[in-house]
Amino acid sequence: MSKIRVTIWNEFIHEKHNPEVKKLYPEGIHGMLAKALAASDLEIRTATLDEPEHGLTQEVLDNTDVLLWWGHAAHDKVADEVVQRVLTRVWEGMGIIALHSAHMAKVFRQLNGTSGKLHWRESGDKERIWVTNPAHPITYNLPEYFELPYEEMYGEPFMIANDAQVLMISWFEGGEVFRSGFTLQRGNGKLFYFRPGHESFPTYYNENVQKVLANAIRWAKPVISTPYPKTHRPEALEKLSTKDFAFGKAGIIKD
C-alpha cells in the first residue's frame, strides 16, 4: 500500500519571536510534529507561512493526502487564493486536521460555514479530555479520559457546524467545558478538529495527544480524491414526455 502523504502547515511565528515558545519548540511546532508522527506508512513534509505561496503550491496540495493546520497570530496573512486552493482540494478528497487556534483560520471557518468563535482564557488550566465516542478510529486506544496539566482554556458555546460528530469533550479546572474533538465531511474530504496545542505549553509532547493525531491522519486519508464530474447533463436517462409549454433556455453553464 502506498504511503499517506502528509503536509504539516504552521504559521511559525510564536516560535521565532517568543523565547519561551522557542524553548518548547525549537524546530517549530511543524518540525516537532513531523518527528513525533514519523512512521513507515507516512510520508511527511512541512510548510510555513513565509514560504512562497505559504508552501502550499498546487503541486504540493495535489500531492497531499492529509493536511495538518496550525495557525494563531496571522490568520489574515493567509492569501485567499491559497485558502481557495485548500478548500478545493478538501472537496476533492484531501483530509484536513485543524489544530487548536486554527478554529479562527479561514479554512476552518469556511469549511464549517461559521464564525469559529469560542470563549478562551490563557490561564494554564488543567484540562481533562473525555472520550465520548470510544468506537471511533480517532479515539482508538485512548483511555476513558486523559489530562493535560496546563493548557489554554477554550469554552462553549463553540460556533461550529451542527453536523460535527463530537468525539471528545474537555473539562477545565476553571469551570468550563468544550467540544475538543469533532469530525465533518465536506465534499469528498474529511475534517478533524482537535483543541489542545497552545504554543506556550508542551502539549504536543503528550503521548495521548500524539496518539490522537496519529489516529486522525490514518482516518482522514481520502477514500477517493477527484474533482466533481461534469455538472451539465443534457441527455435524460429516461424518455421525456412532450410538454404543452415552450420555454426559452435562459440558463448559463455553471461549470
Within 216-245, which residues bind a second copy (CB under 8 A)? 222-224, 228-229, 231-238, 240-241, 243-245
Give the single-character DSSP code of 157.
Answer: P
- Secondary structure of residue 209 in the 3-state scheme: helix
Which residues neighbour 125 within 8 Å (Cβ) at sequence distance 6 or greater?
150, 151, 152, 153, 172, 173, 174
Cα distance between residue 139 and residue 148, in whole Å: 16
Residue among 176, 204, 206, 221 that touches a second copy (CB under 8 A): 176
Cα distance between residue 217 and residue 254, in whole Å: 34
Position 185 contacts a second copy (CB under 8 A): yes
Which of 44/172 has CB closer to a second copy? 172
Which of 18/210 has CB closer to a second copy? 18
Cα distance between residue 9 and residue 108, in whole Å: 13
Write out the binding residues for a second copy, residues 103-162 only, by CB under 8 A: 104, 110-115, 117-126, 128, 130-137, 140, 144, 149-150, 152-153, 155-159, 161-162
Which of 52/223 has CB closer to a second copy? 223
Cα distance between residue 131 and residue 197, in whole Å: 17
Which of 47/220 has CB closer to a second copy? 220
Binding footprint of a second copy, residue count (CB under 8 A): 99
In whole angstroms, how close is the CB of 196 to a second copy at the nearest point? Answer: 14
Write out the binding residues for a second copy, residues 6-65 only, by CB under 8 A: 14, 18-21
In whole angstroms, how close is the CB of 55 to a second copy at the nearest point? Answer: 22
Cα distance between residue 13 and residue 141, in whole Å: 33
Q: Are 49 and 73 in contact (CB under 8 A)?
A: no
Which of 45/186 has CB closer to a second copy? 186
